[in-house]
Structure formats: C-alpha cells, structure tokens
C-alpha cells in the first residue's frame, strides 16, 4: 500500500492500517517505511511483525464481537 502526503517541519501524522485475520494460522505484517520524496536520507522504519490467529473454539452459543463476548438472550428474558 502506498500513500503520499505533505509534511511540514516538526509536523506529526498518524496513519492506522488494519488487518482482518479471517483464517487460523500465522501471518506477517510487513515493515512500514516512510521517506522524504526528494531526500531519501530522511526516513523512518517500523519493523514488520508476526500476527497470529488462535484456533477457533467450538461454538458454545456465544459470539465475540469487537472484543466483547456476548451471549444470545434466552427466550423469556428481558
């Protein structure tokens, strides 16, 4: 993924990129590299890292939504 943006002296910007790990297994998030367009000696690097998704647990009637575990409501409950 490439992105281009202006950056003034002493200005900071934060960009967030998200990965959707759909399948079980090990994945690798590549390094992030930023450099000035005409001054390659001005640069920053964030190393890549491993990402893992644990084995799926058997369905017990609960679902994990946004990091919060929720259970379906039983009939007759308010």
So what's the pLDDT on residue 15? Answer: 82
Cα 75 → chain centroid: 37
Tens of pLDDT, residues 62-76: 444 444 434 444 445
Contacts 24+ apart (CB under 8 A), 68-72: none
Q: What is the mean pLDDT of residues 1-30?
A: 82
pTM value?
0.49
Whether 14 shows a pLDDT value over 70: the answer reads: yes
Over residues 17-44, the pLDDT tens digits come to 777 777 777 888 888 888 888 888 888 8
Report CA-CA distances (Å) from 47 to 4, 29, 41. Answer: 20, 9, 18
């Amino acid at each position: 993924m490439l992105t281009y943006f202006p950056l003034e002296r002493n200005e900071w910007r934060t960009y967030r990129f998200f990965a959707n790990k759909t399948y079980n297994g090990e994945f690798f998030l590549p390094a992030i590299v930023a450099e000035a367009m005409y001054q390659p000696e001005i640069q920053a690097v964030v190393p890549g890292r491993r990402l893992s998704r644990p084995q799926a647990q058997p369905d017990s009637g609960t679902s994990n939504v946004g990091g919060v575990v929720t259970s379906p409501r039983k009939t007759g409950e308010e």
